[in-house]
Each structure stands twice: as structure tokens, then as C-alpha cells.
Amino acid sequence: MSAKNPESNCSFYERTNTHTMTTVTKKFHTAIICRWIILSSVLLITTPLSILHAATYTVISSANWSAFPTTPTTSDNIVVRNGATLTVDVSDAVCASIQLGRDGMGAGFAGTGTLVFNASSQLTVSGTVTIGAPTANNRSGTITMTAGGSLICDELVLSAGGNSVVNSISQGTDSSISVTGSATLNQPAQNTTIYNWNVNEGTATVGGLLTFAGNSAMTSRIMQINITTGTLNANGGISFDVVGNAFTKRIEFSGIGGTLNVGGAGMLNSDNAAFAASISTVNYNAAGAQTIAPFAYHNITLSGSGDKTFTTGTTLDGTLSMQGTAALVGTAPSFMGAASVLEYAGSALQFTTDLDFPSTNGPSSLTINNMNGVELHDARSIDITLTLTAGHLTTTVLKLLTLSSTATVSGASKDSFIDGPLAKVGNSAFEFPTGDMGIYAPIAISAPSVATDVFTAQYIRSTPTDVGDIKAGSGIDHVSTIEHWELDRTGSSDVTVTLSWRANSDVTDPPSIVVARYDGDEWDNEGNDGTTGNAAGGTVTSDMVTSFSPFTLASTLGGPFNPLPVELLSFTAKKRSKGVLLEWETATETNNAFFQVERSLNGKAFDAISKVEGVGNSDITQSYQWLDENPRSGINYYRLKQVDFDGAFEYHPIVSVDMGPIKEASLQLFPNPSIDKVNILLPSSVEGEADILLYNAVGQLVKTTSIDLVQGNNNTELDIRKLPKGRYTMLVHYGGQRLTQAPLIIQQ
């Protein structure tokens, strides 16, 4: 007896249902849902759909996802047969896997299985998306997302296929592909064939390893990723098969502004790959060691943390940006051309090195964009632009930055300047972006007459030499006791000198301010050829200067005019049995309201801990002291903030005292082993913020948090659900020192 099989309408797919006892093959029609179960051509029973656990939908013509009479679930598999097209036109489509093009079809089913996404559509695949039949001829697969849409899957595979196969992905603006696991891009099986993943203007993310697979040495079998202005996030790193020809595995940027973010171990086996940079950025962003492929880049960003290893042959004609706490090791890259830039934009104090800032084949421009500051390791020069965005660049006489005759400065301010000497070559007028102790105080010169002359300038926030020795007949009443500039010349050009002041310079009558120069014995008047601004801030320009030495602001008026303010003679911190004794002396004071005492455990972030009243105005030595009865273990840093009655303030140099090692605490973690979260119990003898750092078995920092410690027991918890199982070590750092550590086992 056979079952009646209604086929009055043309069907666009077939469905195979599976449950624990029976495999059921059904053909569905546009308006009819069959419930017949046929076994050995005998009608047994009609089965409710509710007990069917999985189904395979085979799309045999062209249709929309919304046209499925029974909506596929997360347990169902989708096959788009060759010559058929399935369009995702809903925002909540789901399935277990999807195969575009399939093996085992007859000759009449050659062609491409195509998956198309409409704008705002989304498909979530809990398993694998396979593009193209794995081995068959004439069985291609294509994903088209030129209108947008979103694909989320666990794994993505571009199959090698057979002859006459072209597998591809084409993304467009507003399209997104997110692969939580790995992606494997197989080299074509036939000569003169190119498989493309065209990210174009879209976004693609691979959470696991992105592998270019295949071992053919034929240069015409090409698997490539193309990015125009879009972004590819290879979070698990990229690997190119060891065997094969480099030309066959390619990453190519063809637009302006494309981005490749590389995590994991970086780009492995890159000698088997080709790379075309265009105007693009490659960001190696893992929290750990990475291998940098020796390609010709435009922009390279090193972010995250750990060592980023360069090898011979790496070049760039754009920007190398040093971010996070990443460090460049191995071989120095070569900066190519006038557009090459070295940028420091880290999350902690950075030190230049011979590798990131080489003396030969180095950058044409330098950008400082790190609020924590950058320290120059050796003498270097820049030919195009010094850009000061955030933080200070610290230099010394031996570690001097020189700007060539073609170099300019951009963006200097109180937030970013040169803390130390800066040299300038050439015959153009120039303003040196100098500062010290958080104060931006530029000095400028008029155009030198000789193009090869070199001027070197530095601002120093301290009392100049012999402030009481003033040349008779100079017209100077007194000079500043708090600041001065060093300006030296190598050459013969005479120039005018322009000094600057700000509110804490205590200029009250700008017309009576002049430029003073110390000639080795006494201070002389270099004149006032014009001023700008007002008492809150401005400049004064000298007459033509023929000799060079220290310069400072001077006043031709005495009495209350231009007092040129508090002069700090000394500031010390001494360890005592009851705490830390702070002592300081001033030589003179003008409008001094009070001193604010501040303390830090790392020398960077300070907290106010006391306020000491000033005497207001004084021309005799004044002595002050204050006892910190509750210093912290480890190194305590102190600084004075001097505040005027009008709210203007300045900081004085930092001093420190080492109060001895911090008593190691007993760190307790429970449960241990842990699955989703771990509770942290930390008894402490100190107070303040501490960092909690979790490292994996190979020493990579995988998670961080902080805790505000109080004396006694401290409790917090750490979410570890996204971390793989294994052995870890948790460390607690306080005030730059390790406080304690403990092992942790994660089970999933």
C-alpha cells in the first residue's frame, strides 16, 4: 500500500526529518505541509511535527526564507542546491548548518548555490557555513551581502571544490559576518581560479584562527581576502599553509581606509603569503606576544600588550602607532618616504628604542599622544612634523631631539610639550614648544640669517642663576625667581627672543616686562620690542640678541608691580618613627594663599592629604613642615601645590620616601577550581587601589580588574565565564609592588 503524495503545486525545497527511531524524507509544497511517514513503501502512520527533532531543508530553486511553510529551527540544516538561491529576508533566521552547493548531484545540477542577504536581515547558524561542495566539479557556493545584512556562525569554510568552481563571499556597506570559531579558506583545486572573500566596505570578525589552506605551488590557484574601506577582525590570528606559493594566498587592500585587526599569535608562515597595503591599517592587538609578518605596510598599529616581533623586510610608508603596553622586538622596520610617522599613544609611560625609532631609515614625523608621557632614549632627528597631542616628550642634552630645516611643530599646549632641550635647524622663525613640571612655557626666535645655524632651547621651572646680580644701568628692578629658559646657538645668526608668561608667572604690568639675559656674571636687559596678551598670559619680545645664555622675565618696575612669585628654596621628605616629615622653605612669597600637600603611590596619580596656610606676601625666608602620620607601605611620593589668593597655582618638584616592603597578604580564591566566577578574599594591612591581574599558563595577561583595599578583609569576585579551562595565576599589585599571588584552575 502506498501513501498518497499530493504534488499539485511546484515546490522550492525538500525536507528530510530525523528523530531517534526513523529517518523521514518529505517534499513540501508552497501551500501544503505533509505529515506522511513512508517506510519501505508502506504507509505506517502520520506523525505529529512536534516529535521531529531535526530536519534538512534542501533548497532546489529560488525563494525567500520567509516562504518556508515551517520555519527552520536551531536544530535544522540547510542545503542550497546548485542553481538555487535562498534569500534571507527576515531578521531572526536560524539554523544548525548551511551548505551552499553540494556533492553527489547529477550533471544537470551544475552551478552555484547562493545565499543572499537583504538589508537589515540576519541569519544565525549554530554550526558551520560551508561555501561550495567539498570536492565535486561544477558545484560552487556564494554568499552575497552587497545590500547589507548579518551572518553569525560558529565556523566558516570555503571549500577547495573541483573543476569549474568559483567560491566567494561579497560583502557591502552595513554587512557583517561574525564567526565565533575558526574560518578556513581553501585554495582552489583548479588552475586559473580565484576564490574571493570580498569584505569590501563591510565588517567581518573571526574569533578563532583564520587559516589559508592548500599546498599547491601553482600561482594561478588563488585564495584572497579583499578589503576596501571595511574591517576584518582576525581575533585568533592568521595562518598561511607552510607548503605552497606565496602568490596563491593573498590579503589585499584596494581602497582608502581599510583595517585588519590581528589577534592571537599574529600572522604565521607569512613567507607563504602576499600582501598589498594600499591606504590601510593593520593592527596587531593581542594581549600577548605576536609575530609581525614582514610585509610592506601602510599603517601598522601595535596595541594590547606583550612583545611584537618584527623580522627583516618589514616596511611602512604610513604610521607606526605604539599603543597599549606593546613592545617592538626583533628587527627595526624601515620607514619609507616623507609620509612616514612614528606615534606613541600608549597607556603607560613609554620609552623610545632603537627598534621603533631607528637612527637610519627612521620616521619623517613624530607624534606624541600619550598622556603618561614618552622618554627619548637617544639623540634623534625629525624632518617633517612634530605633533604634540597629549603628554610630554622628555629629552636631555645627550638624548636630544633635533628638528631639521624642513620640520614644523603642530598641536603643542599645556597638555603636551617638550620637557627638556629641543634643537631647531634652519633660517625660519620658530617657536620652541617647551615646558616643565606641567607648565607649558614656549620660547620663540625670529628667523636666523644662516640656514645651517642651530638653536637649542629648554624651559626650566626653577630659580635662575644669581637672581640678585643685576647689571647697573640696565633699568631692571628684579628678575623672576621661579623660571628661566636656556637658549643656545651654534652658528652666527642674531635673532630676537620672545618669552611667554602665564597666570602663575605673577606678571601684573605687561608693559614694564622685559627680556633679561644672564651674561655669566649678571643679568642684562635685552629690551621690550613689544608685548601681547595681558596679566593672565602673554609674551614679550626682545631687541636683536647677539649673545646667548640663560633668559628670563624681568621687571623695570619695583614695589607691587610684577612680583614674579613664590620662590621655593627646598622641599624634603624624611622617614620618622611616627610617619613622614615634610619640610620646605620659601625665599619670597607673593599672594600665597596656601600649600596643598599631595601623595601618590605610583608617582603619577596624586591625592590631596593636607592643606598648609601660606603667609601671603614675604621677602624673607619662611619655613614650613607637616607630618604624614599614615604613610603607606612601599614608596610614598609627595608634591606641593602652591595656590594663590586668585586661584592660580603651580606644582613643585616631587620627593619620595620608601617606607619598606609591603607585608604580603594571604590571597584566598574559592571555589577553586571554578567554572563561571571566582570569589576573592584578600586580607590587607594597607589601604588604596590595587590591581588584580590574571595570567594564563604561558604568562599572557588575560583579565584585569581593580579593588579599593581597606585594612582588614576585602571581598570581590571575578567573572571567568569566557576564559578557556586550564591553569592560571592571579596576582595582586599595590603601589607598583606585588602584594600577593595564588593559583587558579578554571573548568568549563
Decide if 300 is inside a domain: no
Question: What is the rounded distance in angstroms from the CA atom of residue 269 to the CA atom of residue 731?
Answer: 34
- Residue 462 in any domain: the answer is yes
Q: Are strands 231-234 and 203-206 parallel, antiparallel or unpaired?
A: parallel
Residues 196 and 277 in one domain: yes
**66, 96 contact by CB (below 8 A):** no
Report the chain's terminal Cα–Cα distance, integer Å.
53
**Looking at the predicted structure, is the pLDDT value of residue 24 above 60?**
no
Residue 507 cell numbers, joined: 606678571
Q: Same structural domain for residues 550 and 575?
A: no
644, 697: one domain: no
User: Is 729 found in the same domain as 586?
Assistant: no
Q: Are residues 249 and 163 in the same domain?
A: yes
Q: Distance between CA 298 and CA 296 in Å, rounded? A: 7
Quick one: 503 and 645 in the same domain? no
CB 266 within 8 A of CB 236: no
Q: What is the mean pLDDT of the chain?
A: 86
- State whether 6 and 91 are in the same domain: no
- Nearest in space to 435 (alpha carbons), one of 650, 655, 588: 650
Is 653 a residue whose pLDDT tops 80? no
As separate numbers, helices (DSSP H) first and strands (DSSP E) second, the chain gives 0, 74
| 319 φ, ψ (degrees, to nearest 5) | -115, 130
Average pLDDT over residues 321-331: 93
Position 443 in a domain: no
Residue with cell 636630544: 400
Give the pLDDT confidence score for residue 45 in this predicted structure: 24
Cα angle 615, 618, 620; round to 5: 115
268 and 154 within one domain: yes
What is the per-residue pLDDT for 28?
Answer: 36
State pLDDT tens for residues 683-735. Answer: 887 777 788 888 887 777 888 888 888 888 899 989 888 888 888 889 888 76
437: left (phi > 0), else alpha (psi -120 to 50), else beta?
Answer: left
Using the 3D structure, point to which of 267, 286, 305 is the last residue of a domain.
286
Other beta carbons less than 10 A from residue 247's beta carbon:
16
Give the end of a domain, one of 231, 256, 286.
286
Where is mean pLDDT largest: 5-19, 314-328, 600-614, 726-740? 314-328
Does a structural domain hold residue 413? no
Please tell me whether residues 546 and 586 are part of one structural domain: no
What 3-state class would DSSP assign to 511? helix
In a domain, 708, yes or no: yes
Q: Which pLDDT tens digit goes with each residue over 235-244?
A: 999 998 866 6
Cα 361 to Cα 335, 342, 354, 380, 738: the distances in Å are 5, 12, 11, 12, 40
Express each pLDDT in 448-468 by its tens digit.
999 999 999 999 988 788 777
% the chain with pLDDT above 70: 89
- Regarding whether 633 and 551 lie in a shared domain, the answer is no
Residue 541 belongs to some domain of the structure: yes
Q: Is 581 exposed, middle or buried (0-12, 13-18, 19+ CB in 10 A)?
A: middle
Last residue of a domain, which of 632, 658, 684?
658
Total tally of structural domains belonging to the chain: 5
- Same domain assignment for residues 155 and 38: no
- Domain span at 14: 1-71
Q: Does 263 map to a domain? A: yes
As a whole number of angstroms, the distance between CA 235 and CA 611 comes to 51
Q: What is the pLDDT of residue 161?
A: 85
Whether residue 260 is found in the same domain as residue 111? yes
For residue range 272-311, what is the model confidence (pLDDT) as tens digits?
A: 788 888 899 999 999 999 999 999 999 999 999 999 999 9
Residue 50: Cβ within 10 Å count: 5
Confirm whether 399 is domain-assigned. no
CATH code of 716's domain: 2.60.40.2550
